[in-house]
Amino acid sequence: MFNLVGLTPHLQPQEINMSGSDVQVAFITDENAADPDRLVTAARPNTSATMAATTFVGGGARNVTVTTAGTSDNAKTCTITGTDVFGNAITEVITSTGSAEAVAGAKLFVTVSAVECSAQYAGNITVGSGSLCASAVAGGGRTRLKGYSIVSAGTAGLVDFYNGTPEDGTIIFKAQTIGTDNTTIDNTIPDEGMLFKSGLSVKYTVATVVLANVFFA
């Protein structure tokens, strides 16, 4: 999924040259901090916002935040349209409060094609990335998790392994990073591995993972 140099995504899994093995590995890393105006810079859109970008730095999936500067925008909404980790179309409605603050969505978007506002905001808003990250390991079909090697960042946190996507799937397996920077956790799944019938994706929080190698077949 990703290579480590410059924390740039690498979206194609790599086959491991092992005799008699069909095991592949997905490289996952996204240490980029939340960016509150990545998608929409400060503006007061009436309906459709002008997009400054449609993907996130690092290329993986992130949750979306809407930050308001005014205090008179309670219950106004932004509808976020884009795609999930498997390339499926998804939407999410993020509702602003009456305070000048950021409201974070829960869905994980790889791309965002549009931000539609329910009404013009009283003050400027920005739309950007939150601290939740996700990535596809193997999308759409039967996949067996064979093992993983996770390099922990400075904060402990969970790495969730989903059967399907974080939006529509279920968590089958969880791993825990230990919060000691650059400490590696290795685990091999016994027998034939753990079955994910609807494809495999992972979700974690920024600052908990430096790099993960996920082995699958």
Report the CATH number at residue 190. 2.60.120
- Mark whether 119 and 43 lie in a shared domain: yes
pLDDT digits (tens, 9 = 90+) for 39-68: 999 999 989 999 999 999 988 999 999 999
Do 108 and 78 share a domain, yes or no? yes
Q: 104 and 40 share a domain?
A: yes
Same domain flag for 140 and 195: yes
- Mapping DSSP to helix (H, G, I), strand (E, B) and coil, where does residue 130 land? strand
pLDDT computed for residue 78 by the predictor: 98
End-of-domain residue from the set 103, 130, 157: 130
Report the distance separating Cα 55 and Cα 53, nearest Å: 6
15 confidence band (pLDDT: 50, 70, 90): very low
Q: What is the pLDDT of residues 78-137, one digit of tens each?
A: 999 999 999 999 999 999 998 899 999 999 999 999 999 999 999 999 999 999 999 999
| 97 and 124 assigned to the same domain | yes
10, 68: one domain: no
What number is the average pLDDT over the span 134-143? 92
**Taking the model in full, what pTM does it have?**
0.88
| Structural domain ending residue among the three candidates 74, 105, 130 | 130
Range of the domain at 121: 35-130
Task: Judge whether residue 22 has pLDDT over 50.
Answer: yes
Percent of the chain with pLDDT over 90: 83
The number of distinct structural domains making up the chain is 2
Residues 122 and 182 in one domain: no
Is 90 found in the same domain as 106? Answer: yes
* 20 & 49 share domain: no
Of the residues 130, 146, 166, the one at which a domain ends:
130
Residue 14: pLDDT over 90: no
What is the predicted pLDDT for the residue at 8? 36
- The per-residue pLDDT for 137 is 97
pLDDT averaged over every residue in the chain: 90
Cβ neighbourhood burial of 118 (10 Å; 0-12, 13-18, 19+): middle
Residue (of 142, 125, 114, 150) closest to 26 by Cα position: 150
Q: Are residues 39 and 118 in the same domain?
A: yes
Amino acid 149: pLDDT: 97
- pLDDT-based confidence at residue 20 (cuts at 50, 70, 90): low
Same domain, yes or no, for 169 and 90? no
Are 11 and 90 in the same domain? no
Residue 6 has what pLDDT? 36
**Quick one: tokens of 55?**
């993907």
